Structure 1
Amino acid sequence: MRHHAEPHLDLTVLDTAALLAIAMRELKAGDGPLGVAPPRATDPVGSWRSADGSVRLDIRTDGTYAGTVAGRKKPAHGTYRLDGSTLTLRDDSGLKTPVTVGQGVLEMAGHRLGPA
């Protein structure tokens, strides 16, 4: 007689959030450790700023952005395109700036921006 073995989890090392995630969905092969889906890149829509406040970027749902950079007289604004984890900003002059989108962080031109 064959037994269908359920995956065994040692629940003594899991915190409340992990236990809730497991309880809310069924474990499936390939989903990542403990059946929790692997993290996805952050949705970049929202306000972002550098830790020192020198760079601020507002990504809007309509495909436009606005930003300020300390020392720059003219504020930046234009459109953007998201392709996987790369956000490409294109300002009104045609200048393109690649931005790497990560978990709760944007990295661009030597600056690391977090949620504002």
Structure 2
Amino acid sequence: MENHDFVGMWVTADGHIRQELLPDGRYDEARGNRKSAYTGSYTVTGNHIDYLDDTGFTATGDVRDGVLYHEHLVLYRES
């Protein structure tokens, strides 16, 4: 996996969706009280992220100016 600085917790402004990008190329996304609502793997190319969910669906995201735009979501790095 390419080195990148995106590992860590990303959250929506309201805190409802929390996506953790793990250093081993896996992610774990919680929605509200539902922990691990979505899990899978991800790869990073530059500022672009390709996601492959464990159920088989795919998604993409881009980090611009420290903000993660993941499909229709806007996530901010948790301090």
For the aligned pair, the TM-score class normalised by the smaller chain equals 0.7 to 0.9
Identity of aligned residues (%): 32
**AA partner of residue 114 (structure 1):** Y
Structure 1 residues not aligned, in runs of 5+: 1-41
Change (3 A) 1:74 1:44: closer
| 1:79 counterpart = 2:46 | no
**AA partner of residue 55 (structure 1):** I
Partner of residue 34, structure 1: none
The answer to whether the 8 A contact 2:29-2:36 is kept is: no
Partner of residue 56, structure 2: 94
Q: How many residues align?
A: 75
The structure whose Rg is larger is 1
* CA shift digits 1:22-80 (9 cap, x unpaired): xxxxxxxxxxxxxxxxxxxx721110100011211000111101002349786111100
Does 1 or 2 have the higher relative contact order (CA < 8 Å, sep 6+)? 2
Cα distance in 1 between the residues matched to 2:24 and 2:36: 22
Partner of residue 5, structure 2: 43
> Hey, which of these two has a bigger chunk of helix by percent?
1
> Hey, which of these two has a bigger chunk of strand by percent?
2
* CA shift digits 1:69-100 (9 cap, x unpaired): 34978611110011121101111011111011
Q: CA RMSD in A?
A: 2.1
**AA partner of residue 45 (structure 1):** V
- Structure 1 stretches of 4+ moved >3 Å: 70-74
Residue 114 of structure 1, CA deviation: 0.5
